[in-house]
Amino acid sequence: MLNVVHIDEKLFYITRTQQTFYLTPDEIEPHREIQSKRFVPKFMFMCAVARPIFSSKGEMVFDGKIGIFPFTHEVATQRSSKHRKRGEPQTKPIQSVTKVHTRDMIVHKILPTIRSKWPPHLSKTVFIQQDNAKPYILDDDEVFREVATLDRFSFHLVQQPPNSPDMNVLDLGFFRSIQWLQHQKSAYNYAQLINTVSAAFNNLHPNALKYVWIILQACKVEVIKKLGGID
């Protein structure tokens, strides 16, 4: 699995609606206000990771972290405020991610980042595994195929087997690790949310990703024991 990249999307919220704190008797209970408890501001991100590589001495050769990218678009500010003037560009989340957005994310952000970070000793034939969600493009997409063979790379999009247990390292634990770090810092707007999620992704130790790949390997062994069954 050294030439496999897993991609998936996930919603990250500015804050949790419920959170547990352990306080000493003289500490004040934390308090936070948002406009609506039912509609907490959120951002959709797409994350891409590969298997980390370590040398025989335990030194990290490749951390496996390709990148995490928000689905955003720029809009002009409708009215002036203390934060920005009217007409200034403002970053907003894309509320409904479609196949057009996914194609643009893979072609213009995922593939160039893989090319720049990919270890030179690994195979340049790279398989990008995704799930079967409708917004994802297939391997025969014309726009994707035009850039899939640039710079001596050969990229291929592969789908998870339908109706199978989740075989994506991001869903098996890596997203949860990012969230754990993200919620240690408060974000009060979309720009801060992007920064906290990106910082959590970058600061997460590569060992966390290594262990999730081991979990994936164990899950595949159990599937083989059940002869491909989902039980």
pLDDT (tens digit per residue) in 176-222: 999 888 888 888 888 888 999 999 999 999 999 999 999 999 988 98
Residue-level pLDDT at 34? 74
Alpha carbon distances (Å) from 159 to 27, 34, 97, 120: 50, 39, 19, 26
Top-confidence residue, 174 or 74: 174
The amino acid occupying position 104 is D
Position 163 pLDDT exceeds 80:
no
Q: Which residue blocks in the chain are alpha helix, DSSP H?
A: 99-105, 111-117, 142-147, 175-182, 190-203, 206-225
**Which class for 211: exposed (0-12), middle (13-18), buried (19 or more C-beta within 10 A)?**
middle
* pLDDT tens digits along 33-66: 777 777 787 889 999 999 999 988 888 999 999 9
Predicted local distance difference test score (pLDDT) of residue 18? 78
pLDDT at residue number 162: 76
Please spell the DSSP secondary structure of 41-106, one letter per residue. -EEEEEEEEE--EE-TTS-EEE--EEEEEE-EEEEE-SS--SS--TT-EEEEE-SS--HHHHHHHI
3-state secondary structure (DSSP) of residue 205: coil
Note the pLDDT of residue 116: 95
Region of poorest pLDDT, from 28-37, 149-158, 196-205: 28-37
pLDDT at 105: 95
Cβ-contact 134, 99 below 8 angstroms: yes
Q: pLDDT tens-digit profile of 82-137?
A: 777 777 777 788 888 999 999 999 999 999 999 999 999 999 999 999 988 889 99
In angstroms, the CA 158 to CA 136 distance is 11
Query: Quick one: how far is CA 84 from the chain centroid?
Result: 29
4-15+37-225 CATH: 3.30.420
* Burial tier of 167 (Cβ tally within 10 Å: 0-12, 13-18, 19+): middle
Quote the CA–CA distance of 102 and 191 in Å, as a whole number.
21
